[in-house]
Amino acid sequence: MLKQSHRATLSLLLFVLPAFILYLLFLVIPMLQGSYYSFTNWDGLNKSYSFVGISNFIEAIRDDANFRNSILFTGKYVVFAVVLQNGLALLLAMLIESQRRAKGFFRTIFFMPNMLSIIISTFMWVFVFSKVMPALSEYAALKFLGISWLGDPNVSFWTIMLVSVWGGVGTLMLIYMAAIQGIPQHLKEAAIIDGANPFHMLRYITMPLIAHALTICIFLTLNNSFKVYDLIFALTGGGPGRDTQVITMNILEEAYQRNFRYGYASAKALILFAIIFIITMIQVTVMKKREVEA
């Protein structure tokens, strides 16, 4: 019996080993190297560099106005992305689940944006905002469509949010639908017999029993929103100016595009990691407590 147990453990380790090696090579080791370089003035090109202690972190937080602005814009984006994507996904999930027919059709329609590459779908939206909207404004006399969707700082954020919600709702909707389908039918029937209205059903039956799905979806949107890059890069390139520059764009600009300050960029990346880690831990802890209470 003991030998069989050892064989099972060995076979498990053999199956896990390739994935663990890849995880070690492409995630853990680069992260440790980046943490090391964040305390240096390395430019990413030369072999020589010197240690500068925590001066990179002090400069990023105290002296770098562009970095602080990118943090503020990223925070704004994260708040709206989490609220709008989860709110709309939950609403769509409940509406589709309430239908008796064509559930598969609606699932396919709303999930379809997730089947496209982010870059391809974003360039499609760039064409819509830069060519289609002005044409409609001119030929259909819809003057409000002629605004600068990507060039006006007051409008570009909401343009980004529109594309972000369009592309992010599908996956969350499926998770919420799966959770709603897992609610025991007898609980719904008992609540209806007791005279519960739709609001009571949502508050006391649906929301408590899909709390685990809510935790997962908020975690996913938080993680993806903090790391967003390709969507905003393809839409606005961080412009006009730096008005829509997120943290990831600021870090890559510092390391590769303008200043070639790899050590300084690594310090910014560590700050981003700390922000994501702290907020994620708070979110998971609070949501898990609510799951237990439910």
Residue ranges per domain, the chain?
65-293
Helical residues (DSSP H) of 128-261, grouped into ranges: 133-139, 153-181, 185-193, 198-200, 207-209, 211-226, 230-235, 247-252
With cut-offs at 50, 70 and 90, classify the pLDDT of residue 8.
confident
pTM, to two decimals: 0.89
Identify the weakest region by mean pLDDT among 81-90, 104-113, 137-146.
Answer: 137-146
Residue 3: other Cβ atoms inside 10 A: 7
Q: Does 267 score more than 90 pLDDT?
A: yes
Q: Does 18 score more than 60 pLDDT?
A: yes
Looking at the domain 65-293, which fold is it?
Answer: MetI-like fold (1.10.3720)
Report the largest interatomic distance among the alpha carbons of the chain, rounded to a whole angstrom. 81
pLDDT of res. 175: 94
DSSP annotation of 227:
T
Number of H helices, E strands in the chain: 15, 0
